Amino acid sequence: MLQKETLLSLVKRPDLIAYWQSLSKREVEDMLGPQAAAMVGFDQHNPHHCYDLMNHSLHTVWEIQRQLADRLIDWQDNLLTAGLFHDVGKPVVARQKEDRLVFYGHAAKSAQICRALLPQLGFDHVQTQRICFFITHHDDFIPFLLPEEAVERFASYKKADHAQVLKHFRTCAQKESLAQLGVKQKALWQALLVLCYADVRAQAEVVVYHGVVTDSRAHKEKKLDCIAQILADLSEEELEQDS
């Protein structure tokens, strides 16, 4: 198994996609273990995705690199590591639904895998907790709709408005006791959004299902823009209230 510093050097390579693509599944298993190796060549078979699972993860890391190149943000190493492993649980939870695969609960499963894997790679408890926070919440904003969108077809979705987004932040903070981590919650959520944008940008530009366009990368980014603006307008005191 790799150790942390070696892994971080490999995910920071400017040619990281070509480098990891050059490795065999067995080599990845030797470096990162069998659950990470299961991502290699795993066909996601889902209209939201244009890459196999390992290549999606690599493009996510590359997008994180690109976002971090022109700004300073806390926990860069944690974000890059989360990018590599954010979907490691997908092969475990993958289920056939009609003519596609679905991955319900994959974020929680990925975090569960990483809580065991990351200490083996040399990450300490706090680093592991932060990385698993990013992994657990990387799909949080899928069930939000833009304020102008109708909700009739999406009964389980919520409007991406100030009240709903703040409620989500506070609920997560209470559930995970973020105040006990000794970090500023606003900075933590802003860092998470780096992963969310990267994940979206490593997906299909247009989602076509049964010949019908059902979503797009641009629409997903617009939702994240809305969430990011609400977060920017929130104070630390608002986020920490009741947490």
Q: In the chain, what is the straight-line distance between the N-terminal and C-terminal CA atoms, in Å? A: 38
Query: Can you give the pLDDT at residue 69?
Result: 79
- Give CA–CA dist 107/131, Å, rounded: 12
For residue 59, the SS3 value is: helix
Query: Can you give the pLDDT at residue 175?
Result: 83
Amino acid at 236: E
- Give CA–CA dist 57/42, Å, rounded: 11
Q: What contacts 137, CB < 8 A, 6 or more positions away? A: 107, 172, 192
- Give CA–CA dist 85/68, Å, rounded: 18
The overall pTM is greater than 0.85: yes
Q: Which residues of the chain have pLDDT under 50?
A: none
Residue 139: closest CA among 177, 166, 174, 103: 103
Identify whether the C-beta of residue 227 lies closer than 8 Å to the C-beta of residue 199. no
> For 184, which DSSP code?
-
Query: Can you give the pLDDT at residue 181?
Result: 67
Amino acid at 151: V
Identify whether the C-beta of residue 60 lies closer than 8 Å to the C-beta of residue 202. yes
| Residue 76 exposed, middle or buried by CB count within 10 Å (0-12, 13-18, 19+) | middle
Q: Which two tokens stand for residue 68?
A: 């971090």
- Give CA–CA dist 59/163, Å, rounded: 33
